[in-house]
Structure formats: C-alpha cells, structure tokens
Amino acid sequence: MKPKSKFNLFLGTALVMAFSATAVHAATSTKSATGTDLTVLGAWDVLPTSADIATWTAGSLGTGLTAATNVSWSGIAISGALSNIDVSGAGSITLGSSGVTLSGGQTLSVADAIVLGSSQIWSIADVTASSAADATFSGIISGAFGLTKSGAGTLTLSGSSNYSGLTTVSVGTLRLNNARTMNGAITVNTGATLTLESNSSGGYFQPTSLDVNNATVNSVVTAANRYHGIYTTALNITGTSTISTPIFISKTGITGETLTITVGSGATGTISGTVLNHPDTTGGSLVKAGSGTLTLTGTTQASGNSTTLTGNVTINGGTLNVGGTVNSTSPTVTAIGNMTTTGRTITVNSGATLAFTGSDAVGQYNYKTPVMLIADGGIITRISSANTFNSIGDVTLKNGGYLRTTNGNASTVGSFGLNGNVTVSGTSGSFIDTLSGQTTNSYINLGTTAGATTFDVAATGDATADLTVSAVLGDKVLGGAAGLIKSGAGKMVVSSANTYSGGTTLRAGTLVAKNSSAFGSSGTITVNDTSTGTNNTSLLIDATSAGITISRAITVANLGTGTATIGSSTTSGSNQAIFSGAVTINKDVTLAGGAAGDRTQFSGGITGTGNVTISGSNRIIFLSTANSYSGTTAIRGWPGATWKRSPSACRRRCKRTT
C-alpha cells in the first residue's frame, strides 16, 4: 500500500478546517433592523446561542422586543440602536461569562427573568447623563453565580432577585427596587453607590453580608407607610463610607439575632438610617468591631418601621459615636436604640470607646434611662462641641474602665448628667476623669430622684484605688443640691475640687480625699448609715502631694457593727492632713495617723459618746477647739506614737494600749 503524499495530508487538513469554520457561529450575533421575536433567526444576522454575544448596533431594532421562550446567550452588548431597547416575555434569558455591556446612547429595559450561567460583569455607561436608570432588569434574577456592576451609569434591579453569588458594585450606581429576597453578599467599592428603593409593597434587602469600601449606600422611599432598609448580620466598612438607609437587626420570624458592624483600621463609617427591629419581631443585638470609627445619627422612624433596637450593644474595638438630638423624656428612638427598655446594656470593652456627639442624644436632661452603660476596660465619653450635654443613667466601671468628661454646656449644665448610680467591679481599678485640656464646664451633674448618687465600689485588688475620681462632681442640672454616697468594700479616691452641696455619706469601705474640696462645697459628711451593716468604714486624707484641709462637719452615726476610722493615708512627706470641721462620734472611732513626717490634725473639736482609739506610729494633733466627747481615749503604739493636745483635748482619761 502506497503511503499518502504530503499534498494529500495538507488538502485533508484544509478541508476539515474549512468545514469546522462554517459549522461554528460567529462570536457576536447582531440584532437586525427588523424582527421583534428574539428567539428566531429572523431577528438576527445569526441566531445567538450560549457561545455568542447578542449585540445591538446603531441600525438595530430596539422597541417591542420579546423572548417568549427560554434562550441562552454568552452576553449582551449594546453600542447603539434605533431607539431605547425594551425586552419582555414569558421566557428566561441565561447569560454566560460575557455579561452585559451598555456603551451606546440608548437605555436598556428587560422584563424577562435572568439566569446567571456564570459569574459576570455588567458594564453600564451613563447614557442618560443623569441619575435615571440606564439599564433596568425587572424580572427575577436567579443562579448560583455573582454579578459585578461596572461603568458610570445606573443599573436598576426591580425584581425579586434571589441569585446567591456575590454582588459587587465597582463603579457607578446599583439600584435595588423591592429586592426583598437577595440571598448573596454585596460589596460596594470605592466611589460606587448602592441605592435601595422601596416601592408600594415595601421592602428590606437581605444580603448575607454587606461590605462598604469607601462608598455610599442610600435609600429612596417611593411609597408612604412602608418599611424599608437592609437586613443583614454582617456589615463591614472601610475607607470613608456613608449609609443612609435604615438597618434591620432582625427579620420576620427570627428574634435575638446579632448584627456585627466591623470598621477597619483608619476607616470612618456613618450610618444616618435608624437601627431597627423588624415589625414582626423583637430583640436583636448590635456589636461594633474593628479599630475604626462608626458614627450613628439616625433618630427618625418612618411609619411602617418597627421599634428601634431594643437589644444589647457591645463595642469591642475602635469608637462608636452616638449622634443626634433627642431631648425627650421618653426616648424610644435614638441613634443607639430604644433608651426606655429595661434590662438593656451598652458595653464598652478594653480598647474601645463610646462617645456621645449630639446634645441630649439619649434623652432629656432630667430623664433617667434604665439602660446600663458598662465600661469594661473601655471609655465612655463625649465629643465636645458648643452648648452640648448628655444625660445618662446607671454606669458600671470595671477592669480599668473610664467615664471621661469633656467641655460642657454652661455653669449649671456640665458635661454629663449622672441620673443613675455608679457600680465598680472587676480585678483592677477604674476611673472618672476629664480629657486633658477640656476644662470648660467639664463637670458631672449628680442627682437622682433620691437626691444623691451612690458609688458602689467593690474591692478589685488594685493597691492604688478601686475607683479614682478626678472629674469635678457638681449639683443637679439647673440647680438643686445633690449628694454623694460611697458604698461597697473598695477604696474610692477623690482628687477633684467638687461643688456638690448635698452632703457626703460613707456607707462602707474607704473614701479618700486628695483635695480640700473633695467632699463638696457644703453639707455634712456622715460616716455609717442604716445600710452599713457589718462593713468597716474609713474616711481618710491623702496629703502625700500637698496639704489637705477638710472643713466639712463630720458625724459618725451609731450604726453598723464594723469599725469606723478617720485619719490619714499619707504615704510620705511632711504635709498636713487637717480635719478643721466639728467631728461628732456616736460610736467608737479610730483616729489614724499617716506615714513618717505626716501631721494629722483635728482642729474643729470632737464631741459625742463614742470612744477614741489613736493608732499609727506618727502624730495625731488635737488643736484649738476643746474636745468634749464622753468616751475614753486609747493610744496604740505608744511611746512610738506621739500626740499633742490643747487644753481639754482629752476630756476624760487617756490610756496606753498594746
């Protein structure tokens, strides 16, 4: 058998290639100037298949087009047409990886259902030169793939889209109209906009997560009394991003869900839409994560929306700013939720900050919210601006937590109105202080309905103090005497020049003054009350840094079974710790001296029926005013201890004890 010649092999190959070329359609199929049925050849130069891009050019028919049966195309490309393009019909259009490209001067409107056959890009030019829709798809969009919106134009999806892939808005605007069942994640990138539009049936949008990267999310309500917004459990923000649509934390039939908003390093996110519960549910909580700053300012609630957030808020990192002005005695709608809900907590963890930026952001000046603020190693503060003020309720400080004041409103309206009480716990001391340089009316107005604020300070094991107060404590807002009650076994150290005038009560534990006005401008200091029980009490001056004189009158009540001590906790130096006011003792009291060189002086006279024990290795000085207490005087540590007295300082007998 003769072998085939090279010529025969070449000829055979050429014939096969020629046959193959005629059997495969072109990459593009161009819409003709006639024919409205897109499923038949008469409408095209070549009937498009899944391998082809359905293409419109300047001479292509645009109006009255139909796809009554299902078709499959690689994509759609429009560079022009005889008119705006509209497609309708009962069929579906499956689009492949070529997606949609609209670059010509005509708009595109498709009412058929769309099936995403693969992940794809829809590039929509701004052919209207306005914010109006350049391309609209009103049918259901389904499929397991993602869609990327590019191009400077506006793409509107107005059907109930339920495709599950990632939606990315890279450029321009993606408008979702009544897309209540969107199942996948959404990412909005730099400079792009996601617009949520609620029509007559209302709508909230349900991405599994929403990433807003230096971009904008807004909403348009086109029908009255309809709830609208975003429902998701994960919102991630980078860059400088704004979200003006309401945020739902729960949805129909599901309660107690958690929305986590993560703001990246160096990022600032602003949400001006209100944080809501769905109309059919309750509960739901909010978590702020990430080291960036999130600002909430939404304080309005459109008809048809449910109540604002009623669950707990946790701030795990960065700063959460709470803006808006509510100024209400029933603040059910605030930027941080419903402030009338009993049992709610707002917790600021270590490394995080809660800052109030609006005046009366969570209620009127005299409103005591039942919502507990907790600084668990974090900071609760204000962002100072002219004539602003914030009222708060009960506060818990623990593990190094701070309540920090800034410049306040006026001479009778400070930085914070503390309409509740303060609880201190944890394993390290906490603080109430003032931001450096913020000294204009930067005080705290005390006062509850009982007329005094209780500082319940537990023993945390901190050797310095369990609570250190350096911010000024004043009277009630707009006047009215307020007092201070110290309870709990821990130590509270006060170094501020306080102006409250309603008196000071030491119920339990240790209360230390490091300022001559630490215990207010007037009012008696009462040691022990009906709630003292078995607790010990110690009222002390720390004159380590400077001499301190407490001029308030002191009464030690014959209540409680623990010990009562008045004196000095000075650790070094030769400064004097002076009690110049009258001291009345109706139970046994120990007078305690400080460290070497300290001089602890009682110059206002001591009266009452209790016995006095002088302890410590340094001097206790009775000066000027004669003492008239009827009990005995015992000096512990003599002869190491010394004491100096004026005439009648020891009215009865003094004895040495071991």
Cα separation, 260 vs 286, in Å, equals 6
Instruction: Round to whole Å and give the CA distance between 537 and 559.
Output: 11
pLDDT 10s digits, 597-625: 667 899 999 999 999 999 866 678 888 78
Average pLDDT of the residues in 470-497 = 95
User: For residue range 65-117, what is the model confidence (pLDDT) as tens digits?
Assistant: 999 999 999 999 999 999 999 999 999 999 999 999 999 889 999 999 999 99
Q: Give Cα 166 to chain centroid, integer Å.
A: 28
What pLDDT score does 229 carry?
A: 80
- Using CA atoms, how far apart are residues 170 and 150, in angstroms rounded to an integer? 5
- Compute the distance between CA of residue 11 and CA of residue 357 in angstroms, rounded to an integer: 83
How confident is the prediction for the chain on average, in pLDDT? 88
Q: 463 burial class (0-12, 13-18, 19+ CB within 10 angstroms)? A: exposed
Which pTM value belongs to this model?
Answer: 0.90
pLDDT at residue 45 above 90? Answer: yes
Q: Are 317 and 291 in contact (CB under 8 A)?
A: yes
Pairing of strands 564-568, 53-56: unpaired
pLDDT band at 375 (very low <50, low <70, confident <90, very high): very high
Query: Residue 533 region, left (φ>0) first, then alpha (ψ -120 to 50), else beta?
Result: left
Q: Is the pLDDT of residue 306 over 80?
A: no
Buried-state track 573-598, b at ≥16 Cβ within 10 A, e below 16: bebbbbbbbbbbbbbbbbbbbbbeeb
Q: Cα–Cα distance between 324 and 359 in angstroms, integer?
A: 7
Nearest-CA neighbor of 459 among 538, 519, 529?
538
Q: Which pLDDT score is estimated for 642?
A: 46
Measured at the CA of 292, the angle between CA 288 and CA 296, to 5 degrees, comes to 55
- The predicted pLDDT at position 572 comes to 82
Mean pLDDT in residue range 481-504: 97
Give 112-139 pLDDT, tens digit per residue. 999 999 999 999 999 999 999 999 999 9
Type of residue at 109: S
Cα separation of 277 and 280, whole Å? 8
Determine the pLDDT at residue 656: 43
Where is pLDDT greater, at 347 or 300? 347
Instruction: Provide the pLDDT confidence category of residue 1 given band limits of 50, 70 and 90.
Output: very low
- Which two tokens mark 622? 């009775």
**pLDDT above 80 for 182:** no
Would you call 151 helix, strand, or coil by DSSP? Answer: coil
Are the beta carbons of 98 and 108 closer than 8 angstroms?
Answer: no
Q: For residues 276 and 331, which has the higher predicted lDDT (pLDDT)?
A: 331
Residue 530 has pLDDT above 70, yes or no: yes
The DSSP H or E segment spanning 12 is: helix 6-23
How much of the chain, in percent, has pLDDT values that exceed 70?
Answer: 86
Q: What is the mean pLDDT of residues 278-286?
A: 76
pLDDT level of residue 224 (50, 70, 90 thresholds): low
SS3 content of the chain, % helix, strand, coil (to 5): 5, 40, 55
Cβ contact 457:488 at 8 Å: yes
Greater model confidence, 626 or 302? 626
pLDDT at position 646 is 44
Q: Does the pLDDT at position 10 exceed 80?
A: no
* Helix and strand element counts for the chain (H, E): 1, 64
Please give the pLDDT value at position 220. 79
Mean pLDDT of 468-483: 93
* pLDDT above 90 (res 376): yes
Q: What is each CA distance from 106 to 34, 124, 174, in whole angstroms?
A: 17, 11, 18
14 three-state secondary structure: helix
CB–CB of 73/56 below 8 Å?
A: no
**Which element (helix H / strand E) includes 492?**
strand 491-494
Of the two residues 222 and 636, the one the predictor is more confident about is 636
DSSP track, 111-133? -SEEEE-S-EEEEE--TTSSSS-
Task: Please give the sequence-ordered ranges of beta strands (E in DSSP) within 383-464, or none if there are none.
Answer: 390-392, 395-398, 402-405, 416-418, 422-425, 430-434, 444-445, 452-457
> Is the omega angle on the peptide bond into residue 639 within 30 degrees of 0, that is, cis?
yes
Query: Residue 176 in contact with residue 201, Cβ under 8 Å?
Result: no
Is 361:322 a contact under the CB 8 Å cutoff?
yes
- Give me the residue spans of the domains in the chain: 312-514, 524-658
Compute, in degrees rounded to 10, the torsion defined by CA atoms 346, 349, 352, 357: 20
User: What pLDDT score was predicted for residue 159?
Assistant: 85
